[in-house]
Amino acid sequence: MSRATEVDQLPPPIETRCGDYVYFTKRSNDGAVVYCRRLADRTVESRTEQVLLDSEMLTRDQGYVLRNLLISDDNQYMGCLAAKYGSAGGGSESGSLLLYTLSDAGTPKLVEILEGVFNFVFGTNSTLFYTVLDAKLRANKVVAHRIGRGQSEDIVVFDEPCHECFVDITRTKDKRFHIVNSSKLDSSKAYLFSSTHDFWQNSSKDTSAQVLRLVRPRQDSVEYFIDHHDGEFIILTNSPKDNGPGLPTSEPLPFRLVRAPTASPTSEHWIELLSVGDDELIEDVEIFKSHIMVSMKRRGQPAVYIYDRASGRRSELPLPYNGNCTVRPEPNPQFEATTVRLGFSSPVHLESVVEYDMTSMKQCKSWASTPLHINSSEYICQRLNVPCENVDIPMTLIHHKSTELSKAPPTLVRVYGSYGVSLEPEFRLEDVPLLLRGWVIALAHVRGGGELGREWYSTGKGTNKTNSIIDYLSCTRFLLDKGWASSSRLAATGVSAGGLVVGAALNISPEYFRAAVLHVPFVDPLSAMLSPDLPLTGVEISEWGNPLSSTASYTTIREYAPYDNVHDMSSDRPGPSILVTAGGQDQRVSIWQPAKWVARLRSAGGYNVRVPSDTGCAPKLLFYPQMNAGHFHADSSESEAGSDNGGDFISAQALRNAFLISETSTSPC
């Protein structure tokens, strides 16, 4: 497994200019990320770099694992959001904000530590804003802090009482406004205030109500996100085109771009700037002085467009890997920039960064690493459509060119399908050893994800959740019917909510699978949603429904919940071997959920704690709790930068691969 982490050579550092400084990261000899800067506009001879932070030293000397790092506008302060390494830090959702002063001479000086911080953003005049979590892990407050004053003098800027909402704070690209977003999973409202406002000039209780301006009241199934550009607000929204706040809408509409004057940003002043086709879904927008970058999905595949503000011309950027890739906007902090940086990866390409000229649409620079033990040109990544009832389910297949599908090679089918999150065709370290051994990796893009837009999401959540499970089984059955996979060598895998889909599929059609791996699986949704005191239950209502108040929600969840539908196993319907992981510090899926599911599977018969050595084909049920780990320890696509221990991740994935290879190499029972 460790060989898969090796690269042929590291790319040169990616430099980002902020004011008079250029910032970049590099790797130390032991592989740790080192954050550096140097003065810009200096001759090569005088370009002395300054080390701002060594992530390994932060862990070794102070016991922190870095989650996020930001620099203030004036380049005088550095904020490092970190969690304590070990039992407390493994699963904690909030952390400590370490504040340093920066100077051209000497090392950064630690001046303050703020506790209980979930997210943060700098303001002006030594001010920053951060969010905090309540007892149920809901980000419910935005707090203003002035560096050097102490946390006891902080001012609550916004407090969201609705238990279904979570808040965040962002800053517009031109630095003129801060935006407070209060969101449910499928709706939002936003307040804005001037970035130069001094909350300490008037610290009365109604300061926030006087300063924050509501842009548009909350409406079911309507979201909007705000930026500011050249005297007007640019807003990404899926609101009705007449912008009426009181209009009912049961289904989410496509996203579009609108603009509004700075003095009047409310929805009655919105003017459409850009709409997209029925087969297009806007995912991200980056505002520049002369251009707007729009990242979207078109028929489920990535596309990036550049809009010239002066001419109105729309141009499409060429994407690598024939479009079978994941696109992620890189940090593009310079509002006046004429270039844009994007990150790309594919199942057989490590993430690379490409800088494009937004006028010529040509590539200017690129940074890429090449895996030492995998030749990307020898692999195939293709998208198929699987018929299912009245829809086609996209499925991505990845395998070596020499792998003959007609011979039913070992196959791993991955699924997620929740929260409108797309299962992206991206590089995943843990899959490399399987691909090198001739495996096929299949990605089932089921309803409930965001691959084909908001309707694709809405038809796979709430009372429609069974569609996610039906789609997954259809993709699996498609591979079996084609002869491209065999039930004796077919494995399933899912993380968190993806584990729910896998668990439900195992209850319905266990004969399809030889093995299954479920990481921190959400397998007891009924108990969770019937327990309002559990963390995040209130926030999750719009995703799963409320079984406490809705008979339809209760009935639907009860029908598909993996825990509630474990069947008595018999010799004529054996189950597959199953590996289940859990985190002792997981605050999203408590360890008791997968533990009680494993216990129920064992009580149903067919699984024994001990497996005789001469019956290697007997199904196994393995429970692997990591008591110091949190929710994001087990999956490379969800792991936070620097979260948990990299060695722990590699060990966990090595166990996964050993389990899959072992189980698919033995004869089925």
Beta-bridge mates of residue 398: 381, 441
Question: Which one-letter amino acid corresponds to residue 560?
Answer: Y
**What distance lies between CA 98 and its chain's CA centroid?**
24
- Summarised one tens digit per residue, pLDDT across range 432-472 is 999 999 999 999 999 999 999 888 999 999 999 999 999 99
CATH says 376-523+561-665 is which class? alpha beta
Nearby residues of 630 by Cβ (< 8 Å), 6 or more positions away:
90, 91, 92, 583, 585, 586, 587, 643, 644
Task: Give me the pLDDT at residue 667, please.
Answer: 60
pLDDT (mean) for 334-358:
92
Q: For 216-230, 457-471, 535-549, 609-623, which range has the lowest pLDDT when averaged over its residues?
A: 609-623
H or E element in which residue 272 lies = strand 271-274
Task: Give me the pLDDT at residue 587, please.
Answer: 82
Nearby residues of 603 by Cβ (< 8 Å), 6 or more positions away:
none
Paired sense of beta strands 301-308 and 349-357, if any = unpaired
Q: For 230-234, 261-265, 608-612, which range has the lowest pLDDT when averaged over its residues?
A: 608-612
Beta-bridge mates of residue 66: 82
Task: Give me the pLDDT at residue 370, please.
Answer: 65
d(CA 342, CA 334): 14
Paired tokens of 86: 């070990």
d(CA 637, CA 91): 17
Nearby residues of 148 by Cβ (< 8 Å), 6 or more positions away:
111, 112, 126
- Summarised one tens digit per residue, pLDDT across range 396-408 is 999 999 999 999 9
Token match 């979570």: residue?
A: 166
Task: Give me the pLDDT at residue 543, please.
Answer: 95
Q: Is a pLDDT exceeding 90 seen at residue 424? A: yes
Higher pLDDT, 98 or 275: 98
* Mean pLDDT, the chain, whole residue set: 88
The closest alpha carbon to 302, from 323, 276, 328, 281, belongs to: 323
How would residue 88 be classed by pLDDT, with cut points 50, 70 and 90? very low
Task: Give me the pLDDT at residue 614, please.
Answer: 44
The closest alpha carbon to 425, from 542, 333, 322, belongs to: 322
Question: Which one-letter amino acid corresponds to residue 385?
Answer: N
Paired tokens of 395: 């499925």
Question: Which one-letter amino acid corresponds to residue 250?
Answer: S
Buried b or exposed e, range 295-329, using 16+ CB within 10 angstroms: bbbeebbbbbbbbeeeeeeeeebebbbebbbbbbb
Paired tokens of 141: 């407050």
Paired sense of beta strands 411-415 and 256-261, if any = unpaired
d(CA 397, CA 625): 31
Q: Is a pLDDT exceeding 80 seen at residue 209? A: no
Task: Give me the pLDDT at residue 315, please.
Answer: 94
Nearby residues of 550 by Cβ (< 8 Å), 6 or more positions away:
none
The closest alpha carbon to 447, from 424, 471, 423, belongs to: 471
Q: Is a pLDDT exceeding 70 seen at residue 86? A: no
Phi, psi of 66 (to 5 degrees): -70, 135
pLDDT (mean) for 318-338:
89
d(CA 85, CA 57): 12
Q: Is a pLDDT exceeding 70 seen at residue 573? A: no
d(CA 571, CA 574): 6
- Summarised one tens digit per residue, pLDDT across range 270-284 is 999 888 877 788 999
Task: Give me the pLDDT at residue 535, please.
Answer: 84
Write the burial class of residue 522 (CB in 10 Å: 0-12 exposed, 13-18 middle, 19+ buried): buried
Paired tokens of 629: 């780990």
SS3 23: strand
Contact 293, 304 (CB under 8 A): yes
d(CA 98, CA 181): 24
End-to-end CA distance of the chain: 29
Please report how the helices 551-560 and 466-482 are oriented relative to each other, as an axis angle in degrees rounded to 10: 30
Paired sense of beta strands 33-39 and 21-27, if any = antiparallel
- Summarised one tens digit per residue, pLDDT across range 236-283 is 999 988 765 544 555 678 899 999 999 999 999 999 988 887 778 899
Can you give the residue ranges of every domain in the chain? Answer: 276-370, 376-523+561-665
SS3 660: helix
Token match 């011979």: residue?
A: 407
Nearby residues of 84 by Cβ (< 8 Å), 6 or more positions away:
63, 64, 65, 92, 95, 96
Write the burial class of residue 262 (CB in 10 Å: 0-12 exposed, 13-18 middle, 19+ buried): middle
The closest alpha carbon to 457, from 233, 316, 297, 642, belongs to: 297
- Summarised one tens digit per residue, pLDDT across range 623-665 is 999 887 878 765 655 443 334 445 577 788 899 999 999 999 8
Nearby residues of 564 by Cβ (< 8 Å), 6 or more positions away:
524, 526, 558
pLDDT (mean) for 220-228:
93
CA distances from 600 to 506, 507, 573, 595 (A): 14, 12, 17, 9
Token match 């495996």: residue?
A: 439
H or E element in which residue 45 lies = none
